[in-house]
Amino acid sequence: MSRKKNSEEKRNNIRHSAYLCFRESGYYQTSIDDICSTANISKGSFYWHYGAKIDVFIDILETWAREVIDELLEQFEAAAKNPDRIHMLSQAFEQEFHRARAIVPLWVEFSLLGRTDKEVQLSIGKFFRRARSAIAEILRETAHSHLSEPEIKASAGMILGSYIGITLQEYADNEVDASKWAQDFVGILRLIFHKRHLDSHPKDTAETKSKRAPSHRLVSILEGQQTTTIETYMAIRELLFSMQPQITERWIQGWNSIGYYHNGLICLLKIQKNDVILSFRKKIPLQKLKNLNLDISDKKKIIFNSTIDPRIKDILEPVFR
Range among 45-59, 63-77, 277-291 rated most confident: 45-59
3-state helix, strand, coil in the chain (%, to 5): 65, 10, 25
pLDDT, one tens digit per residue, over 215-224 is 667 777 777 7
pLDDT, one tens digit per residue, over 242-271 is 888 888 888 876 667 888 888 777 888 888
Within 8 A by CB and 6+ apart from 97, the residues are: 163, 166, 167, 178, 179, 182
**The domain made up of 215-320 is a member of CATH 1.10.287:** no
List residues bridging with 258 in a β-sheet.
251, 269
Q: Could you tell me how far CA 69 lies from the centroid of its own chain?
A: 4
Q: 186 vs 202, which has greater pLDDT?
A: 186
Q: Is the pLDDT of residue 52 over 50?
A: yes
Distance CA 142, CA 131 (A): 17
Q: Is the pLDDT of residue 10 over 70?
A: yes
Q: What average pLDDT does range 95-114 have in this prediction?
A: 74
Range among 85-89, 98-102, 220-224 rated most confident: 220-224
List residues bridging with 275 in a β-sheet.
272
Q: Report the predicted TM-score, pTM, of the whole model to 2 decimal places.
A: 0.53
pLDDT computed for residue 198 by the predictor: 39
Q: What average pLDDT does range 50-67 have in this prediction?
A: 82
Where exactly are the structural domains of the chain?
Answer: 52-193, 215-320
Percent of the chain with pLDDT over 90: 9
Q: Place 188 in a pLDDT band, splitting at 50, 70 and 90.
A: low
pLDDT computed for residue 259 by the predictor: 86
Q: What average pLDDT does range 72-87 have in this prediction?
A: 64
Q: 103 vs 82, which has greater pLDDT?
A: 103
State which H helix or E strand residue 62 sits in. Answer: helix 53-63
CATH number of 52-193: 1.10.357.10
299 with 250: CB under 8 angstroms?
Answer: no
Q: Is the pLDDT of residue 200 over 50?
A: no
Average pLDDT, the chain: 75
Percent of the chain with pLDDT over 70: 67
53 with 157: CB under 8 angstroms?
Answer: no
